[in-house]
Amino acid sequence: METRRLGNAGPLVSAIGLGCMGMSEFYGSRDDAESIRTIHHALERGITMLDTADMYGSGDNERLVGKAIAGKRERVFLASKFGIVRDPQAAGARRISGRPEYVARACDASLRRLDVEYLDLYYQHRVDLEVPIEETVGAMGRLVEAGKVRYLGLSEASATHLRRAHAVHPIAAVQNEWSLWTRDLESNGQLEAARACGIAVVAYSPLGRGFLTGSVRAPEEFATDDFRRTSPRFVGENFAKNRALVAEVEGLARQRGVTSAQIALAWLLARGSDVIPIPGTKRRRYLDENIAAVELRLSDEDLARLDCVFPPGAAAGERYADMSFVNR
Ligand SMILES: NC(=O)c1ccc[n+]([C@@H]2O[C@H](COP(=O)([O-])OP(=O)(O)OC[C@H]3O[C@@H](n4cnc5c(N)ncnc54)[C@H](OP(=O)(O)O)[C@@H]3O)[C@@H](O)[C@H]2O)c1
């Protein structure tokens, strides 16, 4: 497995990570046994970076990952996140907290659920606009001093927040949505700020939540509680418009003798050696397919064709129904 550096001064990690979120929530039914086999298979195939968060499955995802990596801790570069606080009484309700005392409590709770002594990477999941980022990152820095966390990251942070955070404590990675159909960070200053500070970009939802793989045929196929049922890009006319874009990826994939998922991942990997996509899957079959994308080199002609089909803003519909929680 190719490795990439997590920020200028950071450690080497596998060129792609494994997103574990969908194993516990948001994308249809759960199969914990297959998910654990998938995590084990990922480690065997040389993937080191596993991505989870305290809010996925309201803690269940961290428990699942913890169970999977028991006895294998040294082979894992374990990333988790804090900051999106859920209401146990109302499944969809969320608030953001970056208060220092909350950061310390959230980290201890994640360590307990994962049953580990430290996290390799700890992200603030969403910036709390009511708490100066210097205070939140100050608290995160104290976790590093205490040996509970090795590296710090932010997710969906604006260029300004990223720079302010990095001035308090080195930030190793910023985790943002980045894929053929979500290219916001290329023009809103986030990528420029990350590169100026030597911060790696961990690309989440690199397969467009499955859409870019071509395997999503109709929104009605999703389970009733699947997040994508209400995600603007997956509904109504937007779905049909976006399917037409994906047909172009499928065409290129056929020509190259690969899959659409592999084209989507190879396109991201070609954005720079500081980009680490974390495709999510609960199945070993998809995992193997995604790992093979690391070896795929797209030609300049392929890249130009994809750029032409997916200029920034090409996708129909916003990426979240509520955009107030992103690009903060
Ligand atoms: N920081 C944030 O705010 C944030 C937000 C979202 C996600 N994330 C992280 O990023 C990770 C990845 O993003 P994501 O899971 O949202 O989206 P994704 O990686 O773009 O897509 C995941 C979906 O694609 C399917 N899939 C995966 N490989 C496939 C293949 N080769 N062929 C066909 N379908 C395939 C999966 O199916 P199966 O599930 O059936 O395997 C799943 O439904 C998450 O797991 C999470 O750790 C972070």
> Is 261 touching ligand 1 by the criterion CB < 6 Å?
yes
Q: What contacts 135, CB < 8 A, 6 or more positions away?
A: 98, 99, 100
Q: Summarize pLDDT for 189-225 with one digit per residue, the tens.
A: 999 999 999 999 999 999 999 999 999 999 889 999 8
In this prediction, residues 135-148 reach a mean pLDDT of 98
Residue 278 Cα to ligand 1 middle (Å): 8
Name the residue with the closest Cα to ligand 1, atom 25: 210
Positions of E strands within the chain: 3-5, 12-14, 18-19, 49-51, 77-82, 84-87, 90-96, 119-124, 149-155, 171-177, 200-204, 275-277
51 — pLDDT class (breaks 50, 70, 90): very high
Domains defined along the chain, listed by start = 3-209+273-297 (3.20.20.100)
Q: What contacts 237, CB < 8 A, 6 or more positions away?
A: 316
DSSP code string of 10-50: S-EEESS-EE-GGGTSSSS---HHHHHHHHHHHHHTT--EE
Helix, strand, or coil here: 266? helix
Q: Summarize pLDDT for 283-314 with one digit per residue, the tens.
A: 999 999 999 999 999 999 999 999 999 999 99
Mutate which of 30, 41, 213 for ligand 1 pocket (most atoms within 8 A of beta carbon): 213
**pTM above threshold 0.85:** yes
